[in-house]
Amino acid sequence: MGALLATIGLTAFYGDAQALFGIDFELGAGEMVAVIGANGAGKSTFMKAVTGLVKTAPHGIRFAGEPIGGLPPGEIVKRGIALVPEGRRLFPSLSVEENLLMGGYSKRAGPWTMERLFKLFPILAQKRDQPATSLSGGQQQMVAIGRALMSNPTLLLCDELSLGLAPIVIKEIYDALPAICAEGMTVVIVEQDVAMAQQVSQRIYCFQEGRVSLHGRSSELTREQISQAYFGIGSEEAPHA
Amino acid sequence: MKMSVQVHRGNSNSRNALVGAGVLLLVAATLPFWAPAGNASSWMREFVEIACYFTFAMMWNLLAGYGGMVSIGQQAFFGFGGYVMLILANFAGVNPFVAVPLGALAAGVIAVPVSFVAFRLQGGYFAIGTWVIAEVFRLSFGNVSAVGGGSGTSLTALRGIDKATRETATFWMALACVVAAIALVYLFLRSKRGLALLAIRDNEVAAESQGIDVRGMKLAVYVVAAFGGGLAGALYFVGNLRISPDAAFSVNWTAFAIFMVVIGGIGRIEGPVVGALIFWALNKFFSDYGTWYLLGLGLLAIVVTMRFKQGLWGWVQDRRGWSLFPTRRQLVMED
Amino acid sequence: MLETLIQGLLLGGLYCLFALGQSLIFGVMRLTNTAQGDFIILGAYAVIASLGALAISPWLIAVLLLPLAFGFGYGLQRQVLNSTLGRDPLPSLVVTFGLSIVIQNLLLQLFSADPRSIETEGFNTQSIALPGGISVGTLPLVILVLAVAATAALQWLFNRTHVGRAFRAVSDDKEIAELMGLNAHHVYALATAVAFVLIALAGALQAMRTTVAPSDGPLLLLFAFEAVIIGGMGSFWGTLVGALLLGVTQQIGFRIDPGWGIWFGHIVFLAVLVVRPQGLFPKTRG
């Protein structure tokens, strides 16, 4: 199977401290995969490695058949990977509209335009001229997602979309995902909320202390398997997909 | 399998260096007795001058390298120490050599209110802010006619003493200052306070969360550095016999200190030592070239900062593992 | 009293031009350029030297110098200053301090310590009569107008252009800006390039208004810095107001006693620092 994104034995370091100890990960076009794990398990580091914010060995990551490890983030965006960062990380000095414009900096062609985003998230059209960080948490998350979509990626990485948001807002955000995936967008979500992750994704990877402790089809994994893998009790591997 | 770990502070290199330093000190202290008659005077005066530069640089190193506060205004305390010494000696009849530590003390005291203002700023703007404060000191003293206003005045209190005695006393005082400066910084950094300081330097927020009183520590370092700066200044003008606002509060003092510390290596005790030696050597051979010499110094500082971020001694230390004044603790595994 | 105020405002106009470049560079990349004043003097001497070689109007030379300044600033940032950026303020401070010393001594070597100025054929002594019997120097007035125009232009650049958006983004969050495809090193260099255009302009005007000498730089740096702090970091209009306030403060000081003018400016600056450290018009972000 020609994977869109594949990592083979991926390692990553912050200075001298190793954060990832050999991650094997595979993702096919059009899939939605969830990555779960406790704080510090390496989920965000994995996202950063894929998007070039953390340097890795060139052949540790392959995207559409090409090695992309260690490339600068700008280069990776041009190739079609976009990140919705953990904690949103909007630009406080820019308005909502300007944040979205920044997302389109790399000028990739594709279906996503500002107008289309405003159809997806109408509230943003209303607040387009306001400073981005003056919006509510859920609205900021919409801006962050929109900013990533503006680069017309083929692979969208979402790091902890539900962080700090009320359940009703989280539902609203995740309800928008099908519209985003409608044209075959491939999505990886990193989630603390295991139930939500299982619900929206087709496959799950569980990270624990920088390693993959479990992976399998979301519909087939049991609660018990997941919590054991989450907390590192025993070592389980689910039946392969 | 259990492994025992020991914490080592020195090694054979540092112990040898300590013995060597002791010998050197003995030789230096007796210089007035064994130096050839024609040279004794100029050698001693040269030493006093370099001792002042060095002490000032050590204090700047403490402030910037360990305290994390880069200041371009330490000359405020240098000049303040000098002027207080002169005022006490000329007007209050205090023995000038006694007035030197008093001047230093005064500089340490005035650092407290100064810090209220200076600490409002951070980073690069803190640096320039301290420069403004130094300028205020300079302009203020320049407008006080009792100490000669803009053109300065002379240290009259030493007029009665003969040249040889005065120069020897100044020399010994300078030697004492150098030893005191090194010892003060070394012992301070080896102590628990020193560890706290390093923690603050590496990560202020984390240090605060560990219960370290960041603000108190920073103030302590600032005051100690001011004290040391005032000591250097008071000593300098005892040697120079004449003080003026432009000389006392010149930013060049800090410029030279920065040069010595950066070339030698910041945050290491040996750094300023190496830097001071290099500076003295450059001064000796090239200062006749005036502006070209200064230009060269500036370029050297730029190049070393960009290429050898750890300074020249730091570069050597990284390559050879040498450490003469070890403040780091090494973990040694023992089976 | 009114005359002191007006003189102060006119002086402040020049200080604003000194300060805008510094405000820009610090705002975009948190770099403190301790050689700001020396570069201004360098700009002044560049005009003076060119005047010696070419027989054209100093105004024309100043204008021709601006694109050169742009290129110089861009190159300086890319080749030298970019590598000093980071969490530690020391490298950029030492390098710019080193540049300050290099410039001062280079100018000293090339031009000697004698003060020089740019001949404007009497323009710098012309004045305009205002109602109320007050006369205002034409050159200072032109400088003030240029300062306001420069402030407005910078504000417009930041708020309404593609480049300005890049400046703000990279200043907010360099990592995420790079994630969007921005080349931070290039953006920083553009900011410095713009700052150097302002520096060159300020240098030319300073030499027309009064004399310049190689060691004048540091004092100009302090004025620029004070203007930025009083006005509040992150705001160009704030810098203008800070500069005007500084100018007025100094003029008041000069009136009381010529020896205390600059001192008074420093004291007021320190007072603002104690009472309102964030300045008069700070931007809300940290």
pLDDT value of residue C56: 83
User: What is the average pLDDT across C78-98?
Assistant: 89
Higher pLDDT, C15 or C52: C15
Confidence of residue B253 (pLDDT cuts 50, 70, 90): very high
Q: pLDDT tens digits, residue range C198-254?
A: 999 999 999 999 999 999 999 999 999 999 999 887 789 999 999 999 999 999 999
Q: Is the pLDDT of residue C120 over 80?
A: no
Q: Is the pLDDT of residue B158 over 90?
A: no
Region for residue C171 given its phi and psi (left: phi exceeds 0; alpha: psi -120 to 50; beta: otherwise): alpha
Q: Is the pLDDT of residue B235 over 60?
A: yes
Q: Which of C154, C196, C145, C156 is nearest to C14 (CA)?
A: C145
Q: Are B252 and B240 in contact (CB under 8 A)?
A: no
- Taking only residues 69 to 88 of chain A, the set having a beta carbon closer than 8 angstroms to any beta carbon of chain C reads 72-74, 77-78, 83, 85
User: What is the average pLDDT across C59-72?
Assistant: 92
Q: List the single best residue of C105, C219, C262 to mutate versus B (max B Cβ within 10 A).
A: C105
Q: Which chain B residue shows the shortest CA-CA distance from C84? A: B306
Is residue C58 in a domain? yes
Q: How far apart are CA B229 and CA B78, in angstroms?
A: 5
pLDDT value of residue B249: 95
pLDDT value of residue B332: 58
State percent of chain C over pLDDT 90.
67
Q: List the single best residue of C180, C187, C233 to mutate versus A (max A Cβ within 10 A).
A: C180
pLDDT value of residue A234: 56
Q: Are C213 and C44 in contact (CB under 8 A)?
A: no
User: What is the average pLDDT across C173-188?
Assistant: 93
Q: Are B132 and C222 in contact (CB under 8 A)?
A: yes
Q: Which of C237, C74, C244, C66 is nearest to C159 (CA)?
A: C237
pLDDT value of residue B267: 67
- Taking only residues 128 to 187 of chain C, the set having a beta carbon closer than 8 angstroms to any beta carbon of chain A reads 165, 168-169, 171-173, 175-183
Q: Are A227 and A207 in contact (CB under 8 A)?
A: no
Q: Is the pLDDT of residue B270 over 90?
A: no
* Tally of structural domains, chain A: 1
Is residue C280 in a domain? no
Q: Residue A24: which domain range? A: 5-231
Query: Is beta strand A5-14 parallel, antiparallel or unpaired with respect to A61-63?
Result: antiparallel
Q: How far apart are CA B28 and CA B171, in angstroms?
A: 10
- Write the residue in C95, C226, C229 that is nearest to B306 by C-beta: C95
For residue C212, the domain's CATH number is 1.10.3470
Quick check: do A and C touch, 3+ CB pairs under 8 A?
A: yes
Is residue C27 in a domain? yes
* Tally of structural domains, chain C: 1
Confidence of residue C158 (pLDDT cuts 50, 70, 90): very high
Q: Is the pLDDT of residue A236 over 60?
A: no
Is residue C42 in a domain? yes
Structure token digits, residue A189? 């979500």
pLDDT value of residue C110: 93
User: What is the average pLDDT across A161-176?
Assistant: 88
CA–centroid distance for B235 within its chain: 12
Q: Are B37 and B236 in contact (CB under 8 A)?
A: no
Is residue C128 in a domain? no
List Cβ neighbours of B234 (8 Å cut-off, separation of 6 or more).
Answer: B81, B82, B84, B85, B99, B100, B101, B102, B103, B104
Confidence of residue C152 (pLDDT cuts 50, 70, 90): very high
pLDDT value of residue A1: 47
Residue C258 DSSP code: G
Q: Is the pLDDT of residue C51 over 70?
A: yes
Q: Rounded to the nearest 10 degrees, how much is the dihedral formed by the CA atoms of C233, C239, C244, C249?
A: 20
Domain ranges of chain B: 47-249, 251-321
Cross-chain Cβ contact A151/C181 below 8 Å: yes
Is residue C118 in a domain? no
Confidence of residue A84 (pLDDT cuts 50, 70, 90): very high
C-alpha distances in angstroms, C165 versus A83, A128, A129, C15?
A: 20, 15, 14, 26
Cross-chain Cβ contact B301/C32 below 8 Å: no
Q: List the single best residue of C157, C159, C179 to mutate versus A (max A Cβ within 10 A).
A: C179
Q: Are A110 and C188 in contact (CB under 8 A)?
A: no
Q: What is the nearest CA distance from C72 to chain B, expressed in angstroms?
A: 18
Interface predicted TM-score (ipTM):
0.90
State percent of chain A over pLDDT 90.
42
Q: Is the pLDDT of residue B2 over 50?
A: yes
With beta carbons under 8 A apart, name residues in chain A contacting C233.
none
State percent of chain B over pLDDT 70.
89
Q: pLDDT tens digits, residue range B56-109?
A: 999 998 898 878 899 999 999 999 999 999 999 989 888 888 999 999 999 999
Is residue A134 in a domain? yes
Is residue A25 in a domain? yes
List Cβ neighbours of B83 (8 Å cut-off, separation of 6 or more).
Answer: B103, B141, B147, B243, B248
Mean pLDDT (chain B) is 84
Cross-chain Cβ contact C80/B305 below 8 Å: no
Cross-chain Cβ contact C102/B124 below 8 Å: no
Q: Is the pLDDT of residue C14 over 80?
A: yes
pLDDT value of residue C160: 92
Q: Is the pLDDT of residue C52 over 90?
A: no
Q: List the single best residue of B69, B117, B125, B136 to mutate versus C (max C Cβ within 10 A).
A: B125
Cross-chain Cβ contact C165/A106 below 8 Å: no
User: What is the average pLDDT across B197-210?
Assistant: 72
Mean pLDDT (chain A) is 88
Q: Which of B14, B50, B32, B12 is nearest to B287 (CA)?
A: B50
Q: pLDDT tens digits, residue range B24-44?
A: 788 777 777 777 777 778 888
Cross-chain Cβ contact B125/C267 below 8 Å: no
With beta carbons under 8 A apart, name residues in chain B contacting C229.
121, 125, 129
Q: Specify burial of residue B23 (Cβ count, 10 A radius: 0-12, 13-18, 19+).
A: exposed
Q: Is the pLDDT of residue C178 over 60?
A: yes
With beta carbons under 8 A apart, name residues in chain B contacting C225.
125, 128-129, 132
pLDDT value of residue B141: 94
Cross-chain Cβ contact C172/A85 below 8 Å: no
pLDDT value of residue A241: 44
Q: Is B208 in the C-facing interface, judged by CB distances under 8 Å?
A: no
pLDDT value of residue B184: 82
pLDDT value of residue B335: 47
Mean pLDDT (chain C) is 90
Length of chain B, in residues: 335
Please, which chains are in contact with C (at least 3 CB pairs closer than 8 A)?
A, B
Q: Is the pLDDT of residue C115 over 60?
A: yes
Q: How far apart are CA A202 and CA A140, in angstroms?
A: 27
